[in-house]
Structure 1
Amino acid sequence: MRKKHIGPSCKVFFAEDPIKIIRAKGQYMFDEKGERYLDCINNVAHVGHSHPEVTKAAVKQMEVLNTNSRFLHDNLVQFAQRLTATLPEKLSVCYFVNSGSEANDLALRLARQYSGHFDIITLDHAYHGHVTSLIDISPYKFHQLGKEAKKEYVHVAPSPDTYRGMYREDHPDPGAAYAEEVNNIIKEAHQNNRQIAAFIAESMQSCGGQIIPPPGYFQKVAEYIHKAGGVFIADEVQVGFGRVGKHFWSFQLQGEHFVPDIVTMGKPIGNGHPLSCVVTTREIAEAFGATGLEYFNTFGGNPVSCAIGLAVLDIIEKEDLQGNATRVGRYLTELLEEQKEKHQLIGDIRGVGLFIGVDLVKDRELRTPATAEAQHIIYIS
């Protein structure tokens, strides 16, 4: 039935021997035979599958009202207030939408309207969503379509990867060096009479290889982008909401002196419910509104979604999930380091909190990617 009615590009996990999951609880998933699996795949069940407090909040609100955000409703403003309280003061205006893709698409609109420019700088290997505007700025996707797929208004900066990239851990200041690559892109764009609207990056690259930017990188990039009249968009869709443990937002790992102009969020925000948000400054929001073109989202910010979002924030706090990410992440990293001592296949272990990557290599000196071996391990786990 799936092959008959579902598009062929919508793949299933473990295609050769797919798993039929019928229920989930906490960190576990169960198939139709009752087999239990530890879920290391889903990145949206942030406070655990089927969390009773999330379910309770959804049902309670659904029994009373669910409508769009053109009516006054406490949930909308209370959720916006709670979210912005976790962010630096200047990030104070929310736009609620339904997915990370929708959030990033709106962020591009905000940036282009505010700056008056159009071009976007993105990182190599980046993925920002599945809508057309985001496939265009996601090398992770458009590189699969051939060299001609990159649009002229898209500029690709090297990923700030200190393990495999241009500037590695032995460089005296890799953050500044990678930022200078962005500055060079800006200069070249200006020479070609092009203007930069935004630099967009995940605060830590996920699909791009669990890359943690070196210290000072974002702050320096922001200086160059602002000088060019553009804005800095931090994509927290996969890495936000305390996943890194020590901070609520991953961009905060770059220090208190760095504050993005726009932050996008999704996935964990609703624990699997279709909810996302764009948070920006008052100045950018007012520029967006100055066009006279009303922004309206049928489902974004509806009372049920906001009730769920509030419940997720409550659970993160009440259950000390940031502390849990720190403690469990440290323990997991220690266990992985023990495996690294035993297996030459493991070249690098990197991560913060429960955002952890294991880089497999054929040769530790050359750091040759062990692609086939990685694929094998994924599917035997």
Structure 2
Amino acid sequence: MTSNPESLQYRRARALGPASRLFYREPLHIVRGIGTSLFDADGVEYLDAYNNVPVVGHCHPRVVDAQNRQAGLLNTHTRYLSDHIVDYAERLLATFPADLSNIMFTCSGSEAVDLAVRIARHGRAGTGIIVTENAYHGTTAAVAAISPSLGTGQPLGADVRVVPSPHRLDDVASAFPAAVQTAVDDLNRHGHGVAAFIADSIFSSDGVVSDPVGFLCGAAEVVRSAGGLYIADEVQPGFGRTGAHMWGFDRHHVVPDMAVLGKPMGNGMPIAATVLRPDLAEQFGSQIRYFNTFAGNPVAIAAADAVLDVIEDEELIGNAQRVGAYLKSQLQRMSSDLPRISEIRGAGLFLGVDVVDDDGRPDRGEADRLVNGYRDARVLIGSAGQGNSVLKIRPPLPFSMNDADRFLTVTEQLLASR
């Protein structure tokens, strides 16, 4: 970090402290965004192949206009009757299986997960939560305790058990449910019982896992047989990102008991939600008072409604499937002659690329070199998985074939420079 006391980076570190970290060895000063492009303070343009929050693209004019119009009329809490929140709730719920017919609004994905965990534990004999080994589900105290990816400095709860990431298992269809059963048995052995199994349905923090389709069904059956619930974390894979389907769990042909959504819902506006079975909402809501002042506020609802308009009118789910398939196939073609790339996984516009050393072991250093190499070539991606040895490619949904070709050109240059 620069030691110049007048630099923005120095002032940021002094004011925000060490926990608020920046991306890239040479951090970016981004001041503007439009579509799949971000611009820094010098006007340099970067292709965004990482940010899922602006799901319909940065500063989409229809979303900006909707929130601006509503901000000029009213923005308050949800204790008053409102056509907008009910209309939107009904519209969003229509995209879910019929069993999930209630919605509770929050301001962030962390709050939505926190609420889902509270609901799962309420009225159940067990409190245990099962997660994958490098899962990330949020930052509240309760949710950090079920997020192993935060590191050893953040202890997991005594009633939390982890199971291996699916991509580390042979015969996933049988091995993953078996691992969940082992976790159930251990929770019962220690007197905790089971409240829920929660998984991001593309396992983004574990390094991105999309196949084989359907292996989540067995895990859900195991947990339900033990008296627990299956919570689908759709903060990252939701809103059509995986292509073909609106929700990541749809790919696995499984219906969760609850689903949690995050800020892509409002293209970056602070709106999120827990979608759940009505019997769970009734059991919880009749006994516990729940209120979240700004959850579902009119401006955020206006933005979220516009997001659905754009997804539908611009056929972004189909775009995610088409462009994502092209991107994945071209990366697989390139990787066939590259020993440092061992596997490419994913669905739609959500891909993970394994980076390994000459002995085939995960290579964090090479992955870091590539992430920063992309940044220097004005393309933005991230990393994931244990040790951050997986390249994480997760652009806004309007990512075009031209965007994909630009990404692939940079990829070829970076891999050739090794």
Question: TM-score interval w.r.t. the shorter chain?
Answer: over 0.9
User: Is 1:24–2:33 an aligned residue pair?
Assistant: yes
User: Is 1:9–2:15 an aligned residue pair?
Assistant: no
Which residue does 2:263 correspond to in 1? 267
Offset at residue 22 of structure 1 (A): 1.0
Query: C-alpha distance in 1, partners of 2:157/2:262?
Result: 26
Q: Give the 3 Å change call, closer, same or farther, for CA 218–166 of structure 1 in structure 2.
A: closer
Residues 16-25 or 370-379, more deviating: 16-25
Secondary structure of 2:122's partner?
helix
Which residue does 1:166 correspond to in 2? 169
User: Is 1:371–2:359 an aligned residue pair?
Assistant: no
Which residue does 1:312 correspond to in 2? 307
Secondary structure of 2:152's partner?
helix
Which residue does 2:411 correspond to in 1? none
Offset at residue 267 of structure 1 (A): 2.6
- Alignment check: 8 A CA contact 1:175 1:213 kept: no
RMSD value, Cα: 1.4
Matches within 5 A, 1:191-206: 191-206=189-204
Q: Give the 3 Å change call, closer, same or farther, for CA 199–213 of structure 1 in structure 2.
A: farther
Offset at residue 213 of structure 1 (A): 5.0
User: Is 1:88–2:97 an aligned residue pair?
Assistant: yes
**Which amino acid is the alignment partner of residue 169 of structure 2?**
M
Secondary structure of 2:208's partner?
coil
Secondary structure of 2:275's partner?
strand
**Which of 349, 356, 361 is the matching residue for 2:351?**
356
Which residue does 2:209 correspond to in 1? 211
Which residue does 1:144 correspond to in 2? 152
**Which amino acid is the alignment partner of residue 4 of structure 1?**
R
Offset at residue 221 of structure 1 (A): 1.5
Matches within 5 A, 1:48-127: 48-127=57-136
Offset at residue 115 of structure 1 (A): 2.3
Offset at residue 303 of structure 1 (A): 0.9
Which residue does 1:41 correspond to in 2? 50
Secondary structure of 2:260's partner?
strand
Query: C-alpha distance in 1, partners of 2:365/2:101?
Result: 46
Which residue does 1:343 correspond to in 2? 338
- Alignment check: 8 A CA contact 2:238 2:247 kept: yes
User: Is 1:153–2:159 an aligned residue pair?
Assistant: yes
Q: State percent identity of aligned pairs.
A: 42
Offset at residue 204 of structure 1 (A): 1.0
- Alignment check: 8 A CA contact 2:266 2:303 kept: yes
Query: C-alpha distance in 2, partners of 1:300/1:46?
Result: 20
- Alignment check: 8 A CA contact 1:232 1:262 kept: yes
Query: C-alpha distance in 1, partners of 2:50/2:261?
Result: 19
Secondary structure of 2:357's partner?
strand
- Alignment check: 8 A CA contact 1:176 1:216 kept: no
Secondary structure of 1:362's partner?
coil
- Alignment check: 8 A CA contact 1:340 1:346 kept: yes
Offset at residue 116 of structure 1 (A): 3.9
Secondary structure of 1:224's partner?
helix
Query: C-alpha distance in 2, partners of 1:216/1:377?
Result: 32
Offset at residue 226 of structure 1 (A): 1.3
- Alignment check: 8 A CA contact 2:169 2:175 kept: no
Offset at residue 177 of structure 1 (A): 1.8
TM-score, normalised to structure 2, is 0.84
Secondary structure of 1:197's partner?
strand
Query: C-alpha distance in 2, partners of 1:313/1:7?
Result: 37
Q: Give the 3 Å change call, closer, same or farther, for CA 2–341 of structure 1 in structure 2.
A: same
Offset at residue 287 of structure 1 (A): 0.7
TM-score, normalised to structure 1, is 0.92
Query: C-alpha distance in 1, partners of 2:108/2:211?
Result: 25
Offset at residue 342 of structure 1 (A): 3.1
User: Which stretches in structure 1 are left out of the alignment for 5+ residues?
Assistant: none
Residues 85-94 or 326-335, more deviating: 326-335
Which residue does 2:279 correspond to in 1? 283
Secondary structure of 1:30's partner?
strand
**Which amino acid is the alignment partner of residue 317 of structure 1?**
E
Which 4+ runs in 1 deviate beyond 6 A?
Answer: none
Query: C-alpha distance in 2, partners of 1:4/1:145?
Result: 22
Query: C-alpha distance in 2, partners of 1:127/1:139?
Result: 7
Query: C-alpha distance in 1, partners of 2:183/2:360?
Result: 27
**Which of 167, 176, 179 is the matching residue for 2:174?**
176
Query: C-alpha distance in 1, partners of 2:156/2:267?
Result: 34
